[in-house]
Homo-oligomer: A and B are copies of this chain.
Amino acid sequence: MNIYDVSKHAHVSIATVSRVINGNPNVSEKTRKRVLAVMEELGYTPNVFARSLGLNSMKTIGIMCADSSDPWLAEAIYYLEKELRGNGYDSILCCTGYLPETKKKYLELLRSKRVDAIILTGSHYIEAKPKDNAYLLEAAKDLPIMLVNGSLNGEQIYSTVCDDHAAVYDAALQLYRSGRTSVLYLYSGSSFSNLRKISGYRAAVKDAGYAIREELMVLCHKDLDAALERLDTLSRSGVHFDAVLASEDILAVAAVKYADKAGLKIPQDLSIIGYNNSILSRCTTPEITSVDNKVEALCTTTVNTLMKVLEMGNVPTKTTITPELMKRGTTDF
């Protein structure tokens, strides 16, 4: 069942059938209808492979993410897929894990599949050392690279980021303003986004008139038990804190559990702020004040930008989106 069969049955050439398929206006209404009728009758579907071969494009975008089961990334993927499909593009998904080598491997794989562009979802794709990002610049010579919540300068590289620095700065400052004196910053890695967050925290501490205390900046695994354990030992070792600002909601959940265990009242004895405004922030009692970093906006903006890029339009290289603090029961402001 191919274009030839249709052309025979409709008594036209394959060129005409092709024109009909592609909406070329240079076809008389009569022939168009006849061809369409035949296509319907035969249940004809164009062969995407042959079409791709001619056009050298699949109308497919590669989506890379570290781990599609991470709630934030899962939500991002949802919006990206939806938005892309709305624009007539398919998405092929790659969960790359967090290792640089596998990230590179999957990027190569997607390139070999001749996707029309690649979207890197989440802040784990930009490394601190420029040479570790070189492979992205290299890939961007062939196709557009879109960063969702990451930023990198380069030809054909487009970034859409949430202003994490401002979000954390603002959150921390509000904690100090509400009377806290020792805000613990709990974070889980050193991705692009995490670095920006930490710098926001540092700036806030200074602007609140305090000295930076390294022991209040605590790195731990993105895991409930690990974080709880970390807070426990920290407290036992004599470090005092009356607020926890976390780089991830799950860490904030751990802080709530820690307060429960230690008999601390929330938010009086311990204020807590999470990050991402995920469903996790709503499962605890009290519910957690959390920074909404606007996944949906990040994703739709990314896809919109990409569509303009593919249409050869002129587009901004970097778009910044403003996060918002969702106030709930773990803070008293």
Contacts and interface: CB of A to CB of B under 8 A. Distances in A.
A112 B92 CA distance: 16
A82 interface: yes
B58 A68 contact: no
Nearest to A68: B78
Given A48-B114, A71-B71, A113-B48, A78 B95 contact: yes
B60 A81 contact: no
A144 to B, nearest CB: 19
Interface in A28-63: 45-50, 52-53, 56, 58, 60, 63
Given A78-B67, A112-B45, A92 B91 contact: yes
Contacts of A111: 45
A53 B260 CA distance: 62
Contacts of A113: 48, 90
Given A95-B81, A285-B256, A56 B45 contact: no
Given A91-B92, A94-B81, A50 B48 contact: no
Contact of A58 (B49, B78, B85): B49
Interface residues of A, number: 46
Contacts of A253: 283
A197 interface: no
Nearest to A95: B81
A93 B77 contact: yes
B48 A112 contact: yes
Interface in A207-223: none
Contacts of A279: 71, 224, 250, 280
Interface string A228-256: 00000000000000000000001001001
A284 interface: yes
Contact of A224 (B60, B67, B114, B282): B282
6 contacts: A53-B53, A81-B94, A82-B95, A92-B92, A224-B282, A257-B285
Interface of A: 45-50, 52-53, 56, 58, 60, 63, 67-71, 74-75, 77-78, 81-82, 85, 90-95, 111-114, 224, 250, 253, 256-257, 260, 279-280, 282-285
Given A69-B75, A81-B95, A279-B280, 14 more contacts: A45-B112, A47-B53, A47-B114, A48-B113, A49-B58, A63-B93, A67-B78, A68-B68, A69-B74, A71-B279, A77-B93, A224-B283, A260-B285, A284-B285
